[in-house]
Amino acid sequence: MIKGPRPFSLNTLLFLTLLMATFSATAQSVKRIELPLAGNNTTYQAMPLGEKGVLLISKPDKGTFNVQKFDANLEKIWSIDGPVEDNLDYIASSYDGQSVFLLFSKYRSSLYQIVKVNVGPGFVETFTINTIDRFEITDFKTLGYSVFMAGMVRNEPVLIHTLLTTSQTRILPTAIKGSNAIQTVEVDTVNHLVNVCFAVKKGRQTKIVARAYEETGELYTQVSIDPEDDFSLLSGRLQVLNDSVRMVIGTYGYRNMQSSSTAASQGLYISKVVNNDVVFTQYHSFTDFKNFFNYMNERQQEKMEKRIRKKKESGDDVKLSYRLLVHDIVPKGNNFLLVAEVFYPEYRYQNPNMMGGLGYGGMMGYPFGMGLYNPYLWNPMYGGSRGYNQQIFDGFTYTHAILADVDQNGKLLWDNSISFDNVKSLELRQKIKVQDAANGNTQLVYSHDGAIRSKIIKGSQVIDNDKVIPNGTNVEGDKVRKTSTDDIDYWYGNFYLAWGEQRIVNAAGDPQTRGRRNVFYLNKIAF
């Protein structure tokens, strides 16, 4: 007897309907709020705090700052105003998982005002410290009541530690044999350490010296990674896995491809250090990646693959000259996920009489304040220079991001990539956000031109390719005419937070929404 299909129950139909809705709606705006921008001097900077919410930092006028706290549902919890001494500019902020610290100063001033914001009940503590004359600060990180500031004084690298409770400031030793530059300063909230990587250059060859400091400023550990004879290590990031195991990842290039103004990356390296002994350093040329050149068009890819094949058949390799911004290692089970973004600098010509007054970083376009100095302008390890003749730096263009999965022995298991759609930024900072998704998938997200773009991969496979999710207002008749700044960051759970500035016009809505408005928006998005 042949049986026909069983009829669906109401519960089954409801389940299938919800399931289809889940698959069709890959992302949706849960809530959006807008703050009006009254003039050119009014703007905000957002700092996501995970499930604790988000802070908005602003400087309503020359003598005050304002901090607003919103919860995870974008409901306003509190607002605090505070004084700023001597018309200091907002420079940077730091979040150590417990408190937010705001940094205020003047161009090349030794005076710094630091405001500690308690993100719970909402109160602030203000500290004033003096550092060194002509200190050009490139990094500002905090851990507890300790402040770590890196920068340059007369083209020499300087690392400063200040204990705010005692106002004691000291210069931490950076003496390493050879010409060196401080590349990265990162806070490790798990191990309660501050990790600093130095690029130490001798001739055309560069090695990496990585140091981890305790909150007191005392040296916790130091790792030195030397390159193979033909190579130069161009960048490094230290990650302390436990009391005895450290990992260092970064970019490397051929020694004879480097110059005083160019850092030519050939690939990624990963070093494992156990009890201060380097167990291995594995090098992975981008020519061995399966998806590194996917950002090129089909014809360019074919030509590159042909060149690579010919070189490898003769026992050689195609020499590359990329620049990469490397993320922290992401542990995935027993393996490690390496993430990096490929970029190149752009320059423009300008009247020599107009080249002054660029302040911190030698560029304009920060949301407000001056921002940190841009290490790219003076640090040859980044492959940059101050420009020449009438050329001045005009920002970074990102081409694509790469992901590589390596095992415990540093062996490359798979790679993947995502192409950027002409993303440009005046700050060299991470644009791509990488998150674990369901079924072992990995989700890649970035924002550009007011829209959110995503891609879902599983190893080297592409599950869902390059989706563009409009970051609209959800108000009838609204049209976003211009997005001046936009950003996105993973927030908590399955939520992301998008923010930025937009100019909006409405010709068809009701009288309350009709007209033009300039706003700073916060948008909670569920993926």
- pLDDT-derived band at 395 (thresholds 50, 70, 90) equals confident
- pLDDT-derived band at 102 (thresholds 50, 70, 90) equals very high
Angstrom distance (rounded) from CA 208 to CA 438: 37
Running DSSP on this structure, what letter comes out for residue 152?
A: E
pLDDT, one tens digit per residue, over 10-50 is 343 333 333 333 333 467 888 999 999 876 566 898 999 99
Instruction: Please say if the pLDDT value at position 9 is more than 80.
Output: no
Which phi and psi angles does 306 have, rounded to 5°? -65, -45
Q: What is the pLDDT of residue 382?
A: 61
Question: Which runs of E-coded beta strand occur in 214-276?
Answer: 219-225, 231-233, 237-240, 245-254, 267-274
Over residues 425-443, the mean pLDDT reads 85
Angstrom distance (rounded) from CA 151 to CA 372: 9
Angstrom distance (rounded) from CA 186 to CA 193: 9
Q: Which long-range contacts (CB under 8 A, 24 or more apart) does 84-90 make?
A: 84/59, 84/113, 85/111, 85/113, 85/128, 86/111, 87/62, 87/63, 88/113, 89/359, 89/360, 89/369, 89/370, 90/45, 90/57, 90/59, 90/65, 90/368, 90/369, 90/370
Round the average pLDDT of the chain to a whole number and report it: 83
Which sequence spans correspond to the domains of the chain?
A: 1-36+443-453+467-527
Q: What is the pLDDT of residue 521?
A: 93
Which phi and psi angles does 385 have, rounded to 5°? -155, 175
Q: What is the pLDDT of residue 466?
A: 74
Angstrom distance (rounded) from CA 250 to CA 219: 22
Q: What is the pTM of this model?
A: 0.84
Specify the pairing of strand 495-506 against strand 478-492. antiparallel
Q: What is the pLDDT of residue 509?
A: 65
Q: What is the pLDDT of residue 39?
A: 66
Running DSSP on this structure, what letter comes out for residue 87?
A: G
Angstrom distance (rounded) from CA 73 to CA 70: 8
**What DSSP string describes 304-343?**
HHHHHHHHHHTT------BEEEE---EEETTEEEEEEEEE
Q: What is the pLDDT of residue 10?
A: 38
Tokens of 38: 């009254």
Over residues 158-187, the mean pLDDT reads 85
Residue 194's H or E segment, with its range, is strand 193-202
Angstrom distance (rounded) from CA 325 to CA 395: 14
Specify whether the CB–CB gap between 338 and 270 falls below 8 A. Answer: yes
Q: Determine how many CB atoms are found less than 10 A away from the CB of residue 277.
A: 9
Q: What is the pLDDT of residue 3?
A: 39
Over residues 89-98, the mean pLDDT reads 89
pLDDT, one tens digit per residue, over 337-376 is 999 999 988 887 765 443 333 444 443 334 455 567 766 6
Over residues 67-96, the mean pLDDT reads 91
Matching residue, tokens 């191990």: 191
